[in-house]
Amino acid sequence: MKIVLYIYIYIIGVVLGSFFTLAIHRIPRKQDITHTRSYCPNCNHRLNFLDLIPVLSYIFLGGKCRYCHEKIRPRYLIIEVLSGIAFLLFVISLNIDILNIEINKIALLVFGVLFISTIFMILGIFKEYKIIEKSILTFGVVSEIFYITYLYIFKEINIYRYIIYSVIFLTMLIINMKLNKEKVRRILFIIFLLIGAINIINILI
């Protein structure tokens, strides 16, 4: 039963990885990521279903566009595969029993998905453009605020820890929205990583 679950999770992770590649390409260009159909970045030809199957399309097409035959950058394949692995390892670490699912693990699963997604998109954009994307960092910080609020209400974490985290996150949001300095945003991203990792580890151990 767990093998089937893990295969399913890996496939979901790979599909999300495909979305990350789209977001990494479009967000810095201020393009829509939800309603505009996928297209080849070289010839702008719209892609059909067979062109968009994560991992498999890249392999079967030989890493080239079906229409203009230009080489597709391997980062698409790499991100999809790594995304699948990351989500699979995360779910395995949760040790979820699908016949007796705990609400706390569901909450951690949701936060973990948002946390990992934020990391993939920020690092992907940073590798391409050497910038930390403001909108994605804001999304990640807000998701952490909701999660620590959940921990405070339902898991009864220390009120001082909750206050400290809340102050840090709110300060991060204000700085991120008001300042447009790349070095500052990189520091905020590191803080986001550390606190998110601490919250996940504290629940798992």
pLDDT tens track for 47-82: 887 788 899 888 888 888 888 888 888 889 999 999
How far apart, in whole angstroms, are the C-alpha atoms of residue 50 and residue 56? 9
Amino acid at 151: L
d(CA 139, CA 134): 9
Task: Report the pLDDT value the prediction gives residue 99, as an integer from 0 to 100.
Answer: 66
Q: What gap in Å lies between CA 40 and CA 110, rounded to an integer?
A: 31
CA 32, 125, 9, 150: dihedral to nearest 10 degrees? -90
Closest CA to 140 of 102, 106, 72, 191: 191
- What pLDDT, in 10s, does the model give residues 130-186? 899 989 999 998 998 888 888 888 776 777 777 888 888 888 888 877 777 788 888
**Residue 24 to residue 32: CA distance in whole angstroms:** 12
Amino acid at 29: R
**DSSP codes, 125-167:** HHHHHS---HHHHHHHHHHHHHHHHHHHHHS---HHHHHHHHH
Residue 156: predicted pLDDT: 66
What number of residues does the chain have?
205
Helix, strand, coil percentages (3-state) for the chain, rounded to 5, are: 70, 0, 25
pTM: 0.87
